[in-house]
Amino acid sequence: MPAQDRQTLPIPSLRNIQSFIAVANSLSIHLAAEQLNVTPSAVSHQIASLESWMGKKLFIRSGKGVTLTPTGEKYLREVSAAMSAIGRATEQVIKEKENAVLRVHSSPTFGLSWLLRRLGKFRAEYPDIILNLTCSYENLQFARDNIDIDIRHGIPDWDAYRVMTIKNDALVVLASPDYLREHPVQSPQDLLQQALISSTSTLVNWEKWFAWHNIDRPWLNFSLSFDRSYMSFEAARMGLGFILESKLMAK
């Protein structure tokens, strides 16, 4: 049967059905009324309403009480199973622990170096929240990409969104302690003679950094270049050169 046909099947009042099941099981309108905490006349009215709606006799009434007709017996089997299924489904939904899903987007390096280390504390404080973390360098759109929070690095000039600052950050020149001992620098000018590692995903590159320090360099020859900041960090830890990266991510 097509879905649209199932959805339009006639369904009587659930109150009528409850009264019918109570009377059919007890074969007594008075006992059914006590069970349902209503008056016997209310139960009789519900049964009469159901029989009128169906156009079928469900009970045979006599001075000794009521008995089911063959139609009533068949209907009792069907609706009892249906009402039990409704009861089980309702109980299951009530008992189920509803978990909210929080969809967060960040850059790969922020997700790996900063956010991941704090997820244990977050889960301890909010055990009912399922965190879905997506990492990329794309500028996502909340509605289109189905995200709740987008963690971005930069100057907060996104007027269309509610913006909250997590941490103030700065770009700093970094190298491993061993590399610094072997390649000491006293001024920004000294870095021109060192192995510089480029991160193409940072907001400020080496060229801009040298320009800020009024150092003119027509071109820079990078020893290594990465499109992921966490790879630049790892290269610096291995003593492969200097990087210009986030101070926050280095902690």
For 142-157, write each residue's pLDDT tens digit. Answer: 878 888 999 888 777 7
Q: Which residues contact 175 (CB under 8 A, 6 or more apart)?
A: 183, 236, 239, 241, 242, 243
pLDDT in the model for residue 6: 43
Residue range 102-126, pLDDT digits in tens: 999 998 888 888 899 899 999 999 9
24: number of Cβ within 10 Å: 22
pLDDT in the model for residue 8: 62
- At residue 249 the predicted structure's pLDDT band, cuts being 50, 70 and 90, is confident
Mean pLDDT computed over every residue of the chain:
87
pLDDT in the model for residue 29: 92
63: number of Cβ within 10 Å: 4
Tokens of 102: 């929080």
CB 244, CB 205: distance < 8 Å:
yes
Q: Which residues contact 123 (CB under 8 A, 6 or more apart)?
A: 131
Q: At residue 62, does pLDDT exceed 90?
A: no
Tokens of 194: 């060192």
- At residue 163 the predicted structure's pLDDT band, cuts being 50, 70 and 90, is confident
Q: Higher pLDDT residue, 248 or 105?
A: 105
Q: Cα–Cα distance between 42 and 175 in angstroms, integer?
A: 85
CB 229, CB 202: distance < 8 Å:
yes
Same fold, 100-150 and 171-250: yes
CA torsion, ordered 185, 191, 194, 198, to nearest 10 deg: 130
CA distances from residue 224 to 166, 175, 197, 203 in whole angstroms, order as listed: 31, 14, 5, 18
The CATH superfamily label for domain 100-150 reads Periplasmic binding protein-like II (3.40.190.10)
Q: At residue 247, does pLDDT exceed 90?
A: no
Q: What is the fold, at CATH topology level, of the domain defined by 171-250?
A: D-Maltodextrin-Binding Protein; domain 2 (3.40.190)
**DSSP E strand boundaries for 40-128:** 59-62, 65-68, 100-106
Phi/psi at 210 (nearest 5 deg)? -65, -35
Q: Higher pLDDT residue, 203 or 233?
A: 233
- Most confidently modeled range among 57-61, 98-102, 157-161, 213-217: 57-61
Within 13 Å, how many C-alpha atoms sit on residue 22's CB side? 22
pLDDT in the model for residue 160: 76
CATH number of 10-95: 1.10.10.10
- pTM for the full predicted model: 0.54
Percent of the chain with pLDDT over 90: 48
pLDDT in the model for residue 5: 45
What are the percentages of helix, strand and coil residues in the chain, rounded to 5? 50, 15, 35
Residue range 5-36, pLDDT digits in tens: 445 678 888 899 999 999 999 999 999 999 99
Q: Give me the residue spans of the domains in the chain.
A: 10-95, 100-150, 171-250
pLDDT in the model for residue 69: 95
- At residue 95 the predicted structure's pLDDT band, cuts being 50, 70 and 90, is confident
pLDDT in the model for residue 222: 84
Neighbour order of strands in the sheet with 100-106: 129-135, 100-106, 149-150
Nearest by Cα to 207 from 230, 225, 183, 180: 225
Look up residue 115 and give its DSSP letter.
I
Q: Cα–Cα distance between 134 and 9 in angstroms, integer?
A: 44
Mean pLDDT of 220-232: 86
How large is the C-alpha radius of gyration of the chain? Answer: 36
Tokens of 88: 């089980």
Pairing, β 242-246 against β 171-174: antiparallel
